[in-house]
């Protein structure tokens, strides 16, 4: 049956709402496939690829919502449209869809008590909104990606001039005054303050701190590019100085995937000037030049968290892993077919993915990855993938929210008889999928039904018992499915490295 289309002029819904609605409408009886998208050029191309670009859909503009579907003969167009109208009306009634301001400036002028604006618009519009907010003296948390470097630098300069924080763009998470922004975990208040250019790294460190019994004063995300040229730590420096003057913050933690020489000097000088003990993890950087700054160097997120906790006066041993013992895992590895000899990392968190490649490399295991640039083809051998990278998230939600892509990758890893160790992250928190462990377990079940026992599966579970998904409930699900859950991400990657080395030794 040909495609049917409903065009709603000047009706905007965000990509997550559209993803949920697309899934829901696709599951209706009589619907072969349904796609709800804004009428951007790239979305029109997607509609064309799946055979749903009708003449009406071709006229859509980025301001218009396109609902396109292919129906079974059993479902008439009129009946489908009536049901669709009913669903959209229900959304209007039950959701907050119809309430709210139509423009940011009016909202800010009416609410002088609102000190912060959280922005998660399509990237090309995020910079405009952030500039408006800063000009009206509000702090900004900007989740959006695809803001140009020039815009980012201009926004951060404006923020510094006005004594404001510009968290992001591309800031996945932050915790300010106890409130989680973006993908944030529920953690107790305490005396450790973070400044981070790494979203999943920040989540891992605050969760480990919480699970060790300490707490967080503030966790300021600055966006993934802040410590690289040409930004060179402009906002990280401002955030460190700000934490330096916050009486609740006794220990400062600095996290970045990579940092330019200028950025390192700048933020370390700021940390030294504030006189508070500081722990630093610049994932890919040398640690030698940290010594003059007096900062404690950490080479993993786990070490970062444990050093910060130690500096607050608490001493807790690292959490042990759960599931099969390492000896039992070694025995499983020994029994595996000799073809299963490579590690496959399937990550939702980019910084966790980065940490995995570093830890593997330290053990002499060089894994290909898409961290620096997209892979043109899947190489044979060890492979660690960041499934939250741009090439995987265009037209779909981040894997913290939408686990389907990783589920497919898990099945592919089982089908690929060269994969011996499967390494994954399960990330909990506000805004994340309500049951990420459940999605992993379901994928593992399908994969083992189709392909047999498959690789050894090692996971890190990034979350706290207070997260809405519940650390303990998620842990139980993974353990029940035979997954080894390490006490931290570093421990997971180190275990994967040891088992991979064992396989290499076994096969010469």
Partner 1 sequence: MGDQLPPTQAARLLGERKVIVNLGVEVFEESLRLQGVEVVAVRWQPPAPMPQDVAQLLDELL
* Residue 332, CA distances (Å) to 48, 70, 73, 151, 236 in order: 47, 47, 51, 52, 45
**CA 480 and chain centroid, separation:** 25
Rg (CA), the chain: 24
For residue 472, the SS3 value is: helix
Q: Which of residues 133 and 329 has its CB atom nearest to partner 1 in the complex?
A: 133
In the complex, least distance from residue 119 CB atom to partner 1, rounded to whole angstroms = 5
Q: Which of residues 81 and 430 has its CB atom nearest to partner 1 in the complex?
A: 430
Strand order from edge to edge, sheet including 216-221: 179-182, 173-176, 216-221, 189-196, 251-256, 278-282, 296-297
In the complex, least distance from residue 111 CB atom to partner 1, rounded to whole angstroms = 5
Q: Which of residues 7 and 116 has its CB atom nearest to partner 1 in the complex?
A: 116
CB-based contact 236:193 (threshold 8 Å): no
Measure CA of the first residue to CA of the last residue in the chain; give whole Å.
Answer: 57
In the complex, least distance from residue 372 CB atom to partner 1, rounded to whole angstroms = 28
* Rounded Cα gap, residues 308 and 196, in angstroms: 14
Q: Which of residues 163 and 379 has its CB atom nearest to partner 1 in the complex?
A: 163
Can you state the angle between helices 404-415 and 436-451, rounded to 10 degrees? 30
Q: Which of residues 173 and 500 has its CB atom nearest to partner 1 in the complex?
A: 173
* Rounded Cα gap, residues 423 and 369, in angstroms: 13
Query: Both tokens of residue 245?
Result: 């003057």
In the complex, least distance from residue 350 CB atom to partner 1, rounded to whole angstroms = 19
Residue identified by tokens 């699970």 is 211
For residue 159, the SS3 value is: helix
In the complex, least distance from residue 196 CB atom to partner 1, rounded to whole angstroms = 16
Strand order from edge to edge, sheet including 419-427: 368-369, 383-386, 342-347, 419-427, 456-462, 484-486
Nearest-5° angle of CA 401, CA 405, CA 411? 130
Q: Which of residues 241 and 332 has its CB atom nearest to partner 1 in the complex?
A: 241
In the complex, least distance from residue 42 CB atom to partner 1, rounded to whole angstroms = 14
* Rounded Cα gap, residues 240 and 56, in angstroms: 53
In the complex, least distance from residue 360 CB atom to partner 1, rounded to whole angstroms = 33
* Rounded Cα gap, residues 50 and 16, in angstroms: 20
Burial bucket for residue 450 (CB in 10 Å: 0-12, 13-18, 19+): exposed
CB-based contact 203:173 (threshold 8 Å): yes
Q: Which of residues 185 and 370 has its CB atom nearest to partner 1 in the complex?
A: 185
In the complex, least distance from residue 13 CB atom to partner 1, rounded to whole angstroms = 8
Query: Both tokens of residue 387?
Result: 């499934």
In the complex, least distance from residue 392 CB atom to partner 1, rounded to whole angstroms = 18
């Amino acid at each position: 049956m040909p495609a049917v289309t409903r065009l709603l002029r000047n009706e905007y819904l965000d990509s997550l709402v559209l993803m949920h609605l697309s899934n829901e409408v696709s599951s209706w009886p009589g619907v072969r496939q349904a796609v709800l998208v804004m009428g951007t050029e790239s979305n029109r191309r997607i509609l064309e690829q799946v055979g749903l670009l009708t003449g009406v859909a071709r006229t859509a503009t980025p301001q218009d919502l396109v609902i396109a579907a292919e129906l079974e003969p059993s479902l008439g167009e009129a009946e489908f449209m009536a049901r669709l109208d009913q669903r959209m009306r229900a959304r209007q009634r039950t959701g907050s869809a119809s309430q709210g301001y139509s423009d940011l400036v009016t909202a800010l002028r009416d609410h002088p008590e609102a000190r912060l604006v959280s922005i998660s618009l399509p990237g090309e519009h995020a910079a405009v909104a952030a500039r408006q907010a800063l000009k009206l003296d509000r702090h900004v948390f900007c989740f959006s990606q695809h803001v140009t470097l020039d815009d980012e630098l201009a926004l951060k300069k404006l923020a510094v001039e006005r004594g404001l924080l510009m968290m992001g763009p591309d800031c996945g998470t932050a915790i300010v005054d106890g409130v989680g922004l973006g993908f944030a975990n529920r953690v107790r208040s305490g005396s450790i303050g973070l400044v981070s250019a790494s979203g999943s790294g920040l989540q891992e460190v605050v969760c480990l701190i919480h699970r060790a019994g300490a707490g967080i004063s503030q966790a300021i995300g600055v966006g993934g590019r802040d410590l690289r040229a040409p930004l060179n730590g402009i906002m990280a420096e401002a955030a460190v100085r700000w934490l330096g003057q916050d009486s609740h913050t006794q220990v400062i933690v600095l996290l970045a995937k990579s940092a330019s020489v200028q950025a390192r000097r700048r933020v370390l000088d700021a940390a030294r000037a504030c006189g508070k003990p500081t722990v630093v993890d610049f994932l890919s950087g040398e640690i030698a030049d940290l010594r003059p700054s007096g900062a404690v160097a950490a080479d993993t997120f786990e070490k970062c968290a444990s050093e910060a906790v130690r500096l607050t006066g608490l001493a807790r041993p690292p959490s042990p892993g759960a599931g099969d013992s390492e000896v039992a895992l070694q025995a499983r590895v020994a029994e595996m077919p000799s073809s299963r000899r490579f590690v496959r990392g399937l990550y939702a968190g980019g910084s966790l993915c980065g940490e995995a490649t570093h830890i593997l490399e330290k053990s002499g295991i060089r894994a290909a990855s898409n961290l620096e640039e997209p892979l043109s083809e899947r190489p044979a051998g060890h492979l660690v993938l960041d499934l939250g990278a741009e090439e995987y998230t265009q037209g779909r939600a981040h894997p913290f929210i939408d686990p389907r892509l990783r589920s497919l990758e898990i099945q592919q890893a089982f089908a690929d008889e060269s994969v011996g160790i499967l390494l994954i992250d399960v990330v909990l928190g506000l805004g994340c999928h309500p049951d990420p462990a459940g999605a992993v377990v379901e994928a593992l079940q399908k994969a083992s039904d189709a392909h047999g026992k498959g690789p050894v599966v090692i996971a890190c579970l990034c979350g706290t018992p207070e997260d809405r998904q519940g650390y303990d409930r998620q842990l139980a699900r993974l353990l029940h499915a035979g997954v080894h859950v390490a006490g931290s991400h570093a421990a997971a990657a180190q275990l994967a490295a040891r088992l991979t080395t064992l396989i290499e030794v076994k096969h010469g």
